Amino acid sequence: MSFRTALVLICLMFTSCMKMPKQEETFLTHTVFPAAIARLPTPPPAMSPEENSTAWCQEYTVGRAFAAEGDYYRATTCFHRARHLLSTDASSSPERRAQIVRALILTYSLAGKPQEAVDVWEKELDKVLFSNKELAEDTISLLFEDYHLLKREVDAEKIFSSLPPQNVLRDKLSLFREIASESARLPFSEQPATKLGLQKEVEEATFQFNNAMKSPFNAALYNALLPGAGYFYVGQYKAAATALLMNALFTTATVQFFAVHLPAAAILSGGFELGWYGGGIMGAKLAAEIYNQHLREIILKPLLEKHSLFPLQTMHYTW
């Protein structure tokens, strides 16, 4: 093989592989229908006749109606208007502002917009006052999940630390964080599970998950040793057969082209082979990560839902 041919082959080695997207770490979430939240009690204290006649209260009431119907866009618009109108009301209180802010955070969280939820909180943090313990816990629970979804672990821990040590919600959120994160592995912290009476169930579910999960590293390694083996490892048998066949065909073609002194064709087929080979390694790794995510959905998520450990399941009040 000439130097020029070898140089072209080396260049193909570094350019023929398709870049594979990285599987982002996901946090298990729970879908709550607005009707379920609407059935919860109204936050105390009830609106006085004087408050009901104000513009901000009327906007807040309309926003609640939209939120109960699942029209989150109109609901947040009304809640924002109520927040601004409250600022112009001389008789307004930090407690009512906290109620509106919590309604915004709840609506944005239900709409799957964690960034907007934390933006509202960080803007209003110094202007609100929670005189009601349950309303404060609702807000903490929602923000705890929102910060985790945004991968702002420091902020999530900060909001979590605002809960008192002896608190049921603290135990629920602590256990939720361990089970819902992608790094869920045994052993979990025994204290929260024990306090909630769930230690046996948690251990059984996570043991089942750990035994069934696939290693992304092993999937990539197996596919590197034998194209298709990594896909076979995660149960994707058709992909495994395709990978093995295509790699075998391109490898055979490359060898045959070199044997009959057709270096240009050999380099072309070799470039395709390197693409299939490198892409297969990354693809097998990604397939294992997706497999584990699906496993978390069918093994760990039902455990969280059964015992109402998702933050949206811990709500005390509606809008």
> What does the buried/exposed string (b/e) look like for 75-112 if buried means 16 or more CB atoms within 10 Å of the residue's CB?
bbebbebbbebbeeeeebeeebbbbbbbbbbbbbbbbe
pLDDT of 12 > 70? The answer is: no
Mean pLDDT of 111-124: 96
The number of helices, as runs of H, and strands, as runs of E, in the chain is 16, 0
Return the higher-pLDDT residue of 46 and 18.
46
Which residue range forms the structural domain that includes residue 270? 214-302
Q: What is the mean pLDDT of the chain?
A: 87
Residue 26: its pLDDT value, please?
Answer: 72
Say if CB 234 and CB 219 are below 8 A apart. Answer: yes
219 lies in the same domain as 149: no
The Cβ-side half-sphere exposure at 18, using a 13 Å CA radius, reads 12
What pLDDT score does 2 carry?
A: 54
Distance of CA 289 to the CA centre of its chain: 14
Whether residue 205 contacts residue 300, with contact meaning beta carbons closer than 8 Å, is answered with yes
Assigned domain for 234 exists: yes
pLDDT tens digits, one per residue of 153-190:
999 999 999 998 889 999 999 999 888 876 545 445 55
Sign of the CA dihedral 258, 261, 264, 269? negative
> According to the model, what pLDDT value does residue 15 have?
45
What pLDDT is recorded for position 183? Answer: 58
Residue 295: inside a domain, yes or no? yes
* 24 pLDDT above the threshold of 60: no
**pLDDT tens-digit profile of 183-210?**
545 445 557 888 888 888 988 888 899 8
pLDDT band for position 18 (50/70/90)? very low
Average pLDDT over residues 105-131: 95
Residue 187 belongs to a domain: no
The share of the chain scoring above pLDDT 70, in percent, equals 89
Mean pLDDT of 240-264: 89
Residue 47 is assigned to a structural domain of this protein: yes
Considering the domain architecture, whether residues 42 and 122 belong to the same structural domain is answered as yes
| Assigned domain for 185 exists | no
Say if residue 117's pLDDT is above 90.
yes
Structurally, the chain folds into a number of domains equal to: 2
**Do 258 and 154 sit in the same domain of this protein?**
no
314 domain-assigned: no
Decide if 261 contacts 2 (C-beta within 8 A): no
Residue-level pLDDT at 122 = 96
For the whole model, what pTM was predicted? 0.80
